[in-house]
Homo-oligomer: A and B are copies of this chain.
């Protein structure tokens, strides 16, 4: 980056410095879902076409962006900003979990998709959330685990292939 800037015109490096400054100053977290936002609410929460009955819970904004890119989801999000990690001292109070519970109380939510990562801590976080959200009358779902689109059964790892069998769907 330093070498590139040495050869770039002054106007370019000035604009870059300005932009980096602005990121920290103007970007904030959405007051509802904790996605990145340039206003009180983020662009997704402000969009009246999004379905307020489904909330997809993700660990961080990068996961939200990945799901947005599929175009397969029209609901709202809730960004936890991390996963439970008892060994590192990350308990429920350090994530945006209380805020999610309040949304279930106040918003017309019918389904919560727990889209935490399918690793150990992500799965533990999903299990914790499932217990916390049980008192509410909402459907709780999780992303299907299974074989990749376009892949080859022979080369899929044993655990994922086992999961894809257990979660098989009607054709």
Whether A14 sits at the interface, judged by CB under 8 Å, is no
A117 with B153: in contact, given A144-B145, A169-B141, A169-B144 (CB under 8 Å)?
yes
Q: Is the CB of A71 within 8 A of B162?
A: yes
Q: Is the CB of B117 within 8 A of A70?
A: no
A interface bracket (residues with beta carbon within 8 Å of B):
35 or more
A146-167 residues at the B interface, CB under 8 angstroms: 146-154, 156-167
- A-B pairs, 7 with minimum CB distance: A144-B146, A70-B162, A144-B167, A72-B162, A146-B146, A143-B164, A149-B159
User: Which residues of A are interface residues toward B (Cβ below 8 A)?
Assistant: 58-59, 62-63, 66-67, 69-73, 113-115, 117-120, 126, 130, 139-154, 156-171
